[in-house]
Amino acid sequence: MKEFTALIVKDQPEVHSQFVSQTFSALPEGDVLVKINYSDVNYKDALATVAKSGVLRSYPLTPGIDLAGEVVESSHPQYAPGEKVLLTGYGLGVSHPGGFSEFQRVPGEWLVPLPEGLSEKEAMILGTAGFTAGLAVQALEQHGVEKTARIFVTGASGGVGSCSIAMLKQLGYQEIVAISRKPDAHSWLKELGASRVVAPEELLPDKKRPLGKQQIDALIDTVGGDLLAGLLPQLAYGGTAALCGNAGGIQLETTVLPFILRGIQLIGIDSVNVPMEPRKKMWARLATDLNVASRLNFHEISLEQVLDTIQSLLDGTHQGRTIIDMQVKK
């Protein structure tokens, strides 16, 4: 019987991660068996390995919210063996065993056929981070943000932040301001498309005020918390903020004044439960006008190296994107 490697997070005697050798009989119910060729590592995957983070719904469970690979067996009418597929979100790596495994069995209704023009590797360089960035950028487009707008991006050296900057640049937005705590990320963020890079403290006023200088037309935020609270009063009249993440905290202390005096709008971005039709449309864009995979700062690891990447994500020292090549053994 074929054996393969998977990472499993267990909660006995305490929460810990362990590589195991499994057979197909250990995989969950599902109508499609996928040989995973690539996965990638997101902040949520790092949290999945931490006790009381609330990401994993049960233990033991294989984390990994993204996968790309090839169908091996299928009883789903839309998928036949040999077909290339990708999967991000839904319950993957949260309530259903995920992508940090060489094989996975999944519900066919969660799969997206790999769009033409996108390789499995590119799909995972983008992954949930790129999908989320695409949704945020699209939300700004839909809200009529102009190409000359001053667009700020927080958590710029992270996955969602860096993908957002690359996409905005590719679409022709002219003034993209990266907000990053990491001085050593400034040069690659400029190469990616940032007009300038600023540290969060340069933008946060010494004294909190409900309204500040109107210097931001649109914002893509991945940090939340105090940084977001400090930026909302700086949104210009009619400004828009797409809220994607909470790397800096889930609290948001604000007032109603920027909303009722400047007409600003907040848009919530969810990548997990996007219905299939808009999901496929976004992946089609990620394969065409939003395909920034070749320009992103990414590195490649083996499955066995994933815990090191997880540690750097938790430490806040990780930069760009990390993908897992399942063929690589280290």
Ligand X SMILES: NC(=O)c1ccc[n+]([C@@H]2O[C@H](COP(=O)([O-])OP(=O)(O)OC[C@H]3O[C@@H](n4cnc5c(N)ncnc54)[C@H](OP(=O)(O)O)[C@@H]3O)[C@@H](O)[C@H]2O)c1
> How many C-beta atoms surround the C-beta of residue 304 within 10 A?
14
Which residue in 161, 186, 171 sits closest to 290, CA to CA? Answer: 171
Query: Least distance from C-beta 35 to ligand X, angstroms?
Result: 25
Among 234, 271, 291, 309, binds ligand X (CB under 6 A): 271
Q: Is residue 313 involved in binding ligand X (CB under 6 A)?
A: yes
Residue 33 in 3-state DSSP? strand
Residues with Cβ within 8 Å of residue 19, at least 6 apart in sequence: 5, 6, 7, 8, 303, 304
**Least distance to ligand X, CB of residue 240, Å:** 16
Among 71, 125, 140, 156, contact with ligand X (rule: CB under 6 A): 156
**Residue 155 binding ligand X, by CB under 6 A:** yes
CB 109 within 8 A of CB 85: no
Length of the chain measured in residues: 330
CA nearest to 40, candidates 126, 141, 110, 166 = 126
Residue 269 binds ligand X, judged by CB under 6 A: yes
Q: Which stretch binds ligand X (CB under 6 A): 22-30, 77-85, 142-150, 158-166?
A: 158-166
Indicate whether 96 belongs to the interface with ligand X (CB under 6 A): no
CB neighbours of residue 237 within 10 Å: 11
Smaller CB separation from ligand X, 102 or 221: 221
Count of residues binding ligand X (CB under 6 A)?
Answer: 32
In the bound state with ligand X, the residue whose beta carbon lies nearer, of 69 and 127, is 127
Task: Report which of 81, 90, 68 is spatially closest to residue 31, judged by C-alpha positions.
Answer: 81
**What is the SS3 assignment for 128?**
helix
Instruction: Measure the CA angle with vertex 7, ends 299 and 94; round to 5°.
Output: 90
Nearer to ligand X, 35 or 208 (CB): 208
What residue type is assigned to position 133 of the chain?
A
Does an H or E element contain 227, and which?
helix 225-231
Name the residue nearer to ligand X (CB basis): 129 or 264.
129
245 binds ligand X (CB under 6 A): yes
* Residue 309 makes contact with ligand X by CB under 6 A: no
Which window, 6-14, 156-164, 168-176, 292-300, contacts ligand X (CB under 6 A)? 156-164
d(CA 159, CA 297): 9
Residue of 44, 186, 285, 295 that binds ligand X (CB under 6 A): 44
Among 39, 42, 101, 104, which residue sits at the site for ligand X (rule: CB under 6 A)? 42
141 or 184: CB nearest ligand X: 184
Residues in 105-134 that interact with ligand X by CB under 6 A? 128-129, 132
Residues 287, 118 contacting (CB under 8 angstroms): yes
Question: Looking only at residues 165 through 184 of this chain, which bind ligand X when binding is defined by CB under 6 A?
Answer: 180-182
- Nearest CB to ligand X, comparing residues 71 and 167: 167
Extract the tokens encoding 243.
Answer: 């809220």
272/284 with CB nearer ligand X: 272
Among the listed residues 189, 185, 223, 184, the one whose alpha carbon sits nearest the alpha carbon of residue 204 = 223
C-beta of 155: minimal distance to ligand X in Å? 3
The candidate with the shortest Cα–Cα distance to 115, out of 251, 285, 304, 319, is 285
β-strands 196-198, 175-179 pairing:
parallel
In the bound complex, what is the minimum distance in angstroms from residue 40's beta carbon to ligand X? 9
Among 318, 323, 324, 326, binds ligand X (CB under 6 A): 318
Binding residues (CB under 6 A) for ligand X: these are 42-44, 128-129, 132, 155-161, 180-182, 185, 222-223, 227, 244-248, 269-272, 313, 316, 318
